[in-house]
A = this chain, B = another copy of it.
């Protein structure tokens, strides 16, 4: 197919050329005396992204699923009890994974479209006088429904209940896109992956552990080897890894961190807010509804759009992909067919999104949803125009001719701002 694929699934996200370039390099000896310098900078800068000064970040070849496993297996023992609200496919899958490790999970069922039920959590923890509950598992941004939960409020629930359970947070589709505050919220295990806000190819699972979490390593009896944090702690101390790391991904992560820190994390969050607001304006203009039940749940990285009666979201996705080269996300689990999702995270700007919205409009029309072509695009564009940063003055006189002109100009100046024409054409 000519032209670029429009990748708007909620992960993997678009990998900036800078990152691909950084990864196009010869392999090297990861045991050499020169090697540790770079990984040490990764650990340092990952802490900035997790917003922690005391936590310790870890990098595994793997995926978010691996990081889920690492977080649990290193801090819990078979038979331990945790509580976990389920409000989407990813909270569901994490729960299932915990069960496989032998952990007992008290599932709090929540309507899909809502987020973490802070009051119920506080009640349960308050009632758990014996402190049998060892952990609380929260998906910060439920990618399946486009719902962002209030992790800070969950921390307050723990505090109010004076409960020592560890706070486990899946930040796979939030960290590096939506504000995340490890230290302020006293998150104990924060899980993420490479292929969302970090704008990297898939292939890394990352997590960050609080000192409290690290103090649990010895007593945690879940079996673990590849995902053992203790080995990592020992090797990482000198900038090495206990087994062969995915070296090119580390170089990619180095560039990812450069990009994030150059833009500034707060600017990154604000950009995602602004881009997300535009997408939501488009959805409103289409007369469609989000899966997220209330504005407080709106996700700035993914919007799940409910389909009208009689329309299967999978058909929108199919037409979008095969006819317009636009990749959208499907409804998952109990939401299968009922919605489709637009990812809006990572290395993204207004025009990329407007192109995607236009593609979504065409696909929706093609499958019979009676939206007005251009309506969503216009609403989003109006939002982007009205919130655009003011331009600094121009850096000198711009230029004009796009190709060959060895000789003297044909046209004379035509008045107005024609310095350019006078000089160049």
Contact = CB atoms under 8 A, between A and B. Distances in A.
A218 interface: no
Interface stretch (A121-129, A207-215, A357-365): A357-365
23 contacts: A1-B349, A2-B263, A3-B347, A3-B352, A30-B202, A32-B321, A63-B245, A90-B404, A100-B224, A100-B228, A100-B406, A223-B223, A225-B407, A226-B226, A238-B396, A324-B349, A325-B349, A332-B411, A334-B410, A336-B414, A337-B414, A358-B381, A372-B378
A244 B12 contact: yes
Contacts of A329: 31, 402
A2 B348 contact: yes
A195 to B, nearest CB: 6
Contacts of A361: 381
Given A31-B330, A92-B409, 17 more contacts: A3-B352, A21-B25, A31-B399, A33-B322, A93-B401, A100-B224, A193-B403, A314-B417, A330-B399, A333-B425, A335-B411, A336-B413, A336-B421, A337-B417, A358-B358, A358-B377, A377-B378
Interface in A70-119: 73, 78, 86, 89-90, 92-97, 99-102
A248 interface: yes
B385 A366 contact: yes
A244 B202 contact: yes
A326 interface: yes
A405 B93 contact: yes
Interface stretch (A42-50, A160-168, A181-189, A387-395): A387-395
Contacts of A388: 323-324, 366
Interface residues of A, number: 174
Contacts of A235: 424
A219 interface: no
B226 A69 contact: yes
Contacts of A385: 362, 365-366, 373
A398 interface: yes
A156 interface: no
Contacts of A318: 33, 391, 394, 398
A155 B25 CA distance: 41
A242 interface: yes
Given A223-B102, A332-B401, A404-B244, A27 B355 contact: no
A328 to B, nearest CB: 8
A18 B414 CA distance: 42
A55 interface: no
B338 A414 contact: yes
Given A366-B385, A416-B312, A100 B225 contact: yes
Which 4 residue pairs across A and B have the least CB separation, nearest first? Answer: A96-B407, A334-B411, A336-B421, A374-B378
Contact of A226 (B28, B99, B172, B227): B227
